[in-house]
Amino acid sequence: MKRHRPLVQLSVVFLFGALFARPPQAAAQVTAATRDSLPWGVTMDMVKEGEAIFKGNGLCTTCHGSNAEGGVGPRLADNDWLQAKGSYLSILQVILTGVPESQSSTGTAMPARGGTKIDDAQVQSAAAYIWKTSHPESGDSLPPGVTPEMVKRGEQVFNGPGACALCHGSEATGLLGPDLTDDVWLDAKGEYKTIGRIIAEGISEKASTSGIAMPPRGGSDISASDIERVAAYVWYVSHR
């Protein structure tokens, strides 16, 4: 049920993006609105650290799977909850206290702190990571259909066969072509789909804001799926 609200939010954000694409200030506000949704007291640094704990000395992956997809313990990467209520604090509570067998809905217990000695700050970070993983539309997470693997491969395409770096620089911060890492858009509005379309079709000299054309696919012969990946990478670097 919870999923519907963010979808509406997203389309509102996109609508605003479409209406106010030009003034950079409006674009910045739109981005801020999508980013501000981490729970109070939670930072992206905590989310990052929490991922390392989840996959490292928290030993959470032994029961919940290497990407929280589930195993002996339930899947945590969605918004269905057995014990927690989906809020950051309820997730935090479950990790701190664990789940005794008598209260477990699956009959399997979860030891407090996963049975490890991670400290309170580490538990908070692990909770932040799980909150973020189960609320993928929040913060600077990826658009639907985009995976971290696509972003990674997209970076290789950008700097390799796509030849994008020639015009946009190896960090995508711009050379002859514009900086793609900010949220100022000449043509793309910051949307994943539009970014992909622009990469596929290019920008004619006539349509170009700067008067400089961008050839379709940057003039390369990358495949349709590499276009999606490089679009995922551009989306990612512009929403960090």
The closest alpha carbon to 238, from 147, 140, 159, belongs to: 140
Residue 214: beta bridge partners?
203
# binding residues, ligand HEC (CB under 6 A): 61
Residue 52: other Cβ atoms inside 10 A = 14
Binders of ligand HEC in range 93-152 (CB under 6 A): 94-95, 99, 104-106, 108, 110-111, 113-115, 126, 130
168 sits near ligand HEC (criterion: CB under 6 A) = yes
- Looking at the Cβ atoms of 8 and 23, the one nearer to ligand HEC is 23
195 sits near ligand HEC (criterion: CB under 6 A) = yes
Binders of ligand HEC in range 198-237 (CB under 6 A): 198-199, 203, 208-210, 212, 214-215, 217-220, 230, 234
169 sits near ligand HEC (criterion: CB under 6 A) = no
- Looking at the Cβ atoms of 34 and 76, the one nearer to ligand HEC is 76
CA-CA-CA-CA torsion sign (26, 29, 35, 38)? negative
Among 18, 72, 96, 224, binds ligand HEC (CB under 6 A): 72
- Looking at the Cβ atoms of 34 and 234, the one nearer to ligand HEC is 234
37 with 139: CB under 8 angstroms? Answer: yes
**CA-angle at 137, arms to 168 and 189, nearest 5°:** 35
63 sits near ligand HEC (criterion: CB under 6 A) = yes
Tell me the C-alpha distance between 180 and 177, whole Å.
9
Scan for tokens 């961008």, then name that residue.
Answer: 214
54 HSE (CA, 13 A, CB side): 26
Contacts of 5 (CB under 8 A, 6+ apart): none
Stretch of residues binding ligand HEC (CB under 6 A), selected from 1-9, 35-43, 76-84, 143-151: 76-84
Least Cβ distance, residue 20 to ligand HEC (angstroms): 14
38 with 96: CB under 8 angstroms? Answer: no
CA-CA-CA-CA torsion sign (8, 131, 50, 228)? negative
Least Cβ distance, residue 212 to ligand HEC (angstroms): 4
Residue 138: other Cβ atoms inside 10 A = 19
Residues at the site binding ligand HEC, with contacts judged by CB under 6 A: 54, 58-60, 62-64, 72-74, 76, 81-84, 91, 94-95, 99, 104-106, 108, 110-111, 113-115, 126, 130, 158, 162-164, 166-168, 176-178, 180, 185-188, 195, 198-199, 203, 208-210, 212, 214-215, 217-220, 230, 234
